Amino acid sequence: MVNVDLMARHLPALKRVSFRAVLAATGMAVITGFAGAPASASPATATAPEAKAVAAAAAAPATKTESAAAVDAEPVAKPATKAPAAAKKAEQAAKAPSRQQLMPAPVAEYQETFKPTAEQKRNAEVIIETGQKMGLPPRAWVIAVATAAQESTLNNLGHLGDMNDHDSLGLFQQRPSAGWGTPAEITDPVYSSKAFYNGLKNVEGYDTMALTDAAQTVQVSAFPNHYAKWEKLAADLVLAKYGQGPYAA
């Protein structure tokens, strides 16, 4: 049987113990029988499923925004490619003068040629480019290149000593004593080309007459017929600047 008297004596003590236990569990301090301010509570610990969810979210990589994904999806523009060699040749051919423009008069039957060196080709190019800048027609370029081929084989000659023809110099063997310019000027390919073209412009009908007649009128050579034999060579060197003919690069 339960001893009622014994329980009655100890019941107040049991109540006090239970009350203190409740206060301790709720974080309240017991001071002389009153509840003070809440003590700093320890952070609540997450349950096992919640902790796993938080850890998984932290570990997952950040996803791209829609705008960033759209940028990535756009195709990358390819760099412009160079025009094919065939297209370049076609463009050059379209600008090239015709054989009729280069050689409008009958060509002498006897023709000579040689394989020009890089320097000789460059000298021919200077002659041609000078004529182009002066606004002269393709026929003038052919006459000038053929003349230089006869006079110097397209070499910019200085004074050759005993082999020199008087004081003749440069691509066109022009003479300072005849008023063509100073030795420094005459041995400048651009200057000497301009000097020849200025003389050629004064020859009426030069662009339709036989090449040797036009060249001789300017040069006044002791061998007037020798210019004619370089006409085809000169025409081929003009066409080489347009990627055509046997001397094209």
Cβ proximity of 239 and 171 under 8 Å: no
Instruction: Count other Cβ atoms within 10 Å, centred on residue 116.
Output: 19
Tell me what pLDDT residue 167 has.
84
Domain ranges, ordered by start, for the chain: 101-240
Q: Is 28 strand, coil or helix?
A: coil
* Secondary structure, 3-state, 59-72: HCCCCCCHHHHHHH
Which DSSP letter does residue 105 get?
S
The second-level CATH assignment, the architecture, of 101-240 is Orthogonal Bundle (1.10)
d(CA 44, CA 53): 16
Q: Are strands 30-31 and 34-35 parallel, antiparallel or unpaired?
A: antiparallel
Query: Which amino acid is located at 154 in the chain?
Result: L
Residue 115, classed as helix, strand or coil, is: coil
Take residue 161 and report the two structure tokens written for it: 């000593």
The predicted model scores a pTM of 0.65
Q: What integer pLDDT is reported at residue 17 of this predicted model?
A: 43
Q: Helix, strand or coil for residue 6? A: helix
What local confidence, expressed as pLDDT, does residue 147 receive? 98
Which stretches in the chain have pLDDT values below 70? 1-83, 85, 89, 160-165
Cα separation, 22 vs 158, in Å, equals 121
The DSSP letter of residue 135 is T
pLDDT of residue 224: 86
Q: What single string gives the DSSP state of each residue in 153-220?
A: TT------GGGSSTT-BTTTTB-GGGTS--HHHHTSHHHHHHHHHHHHHTSTTTTTS-HHHHHHHHH-
Chain position carrying tokens 């002066």: 134
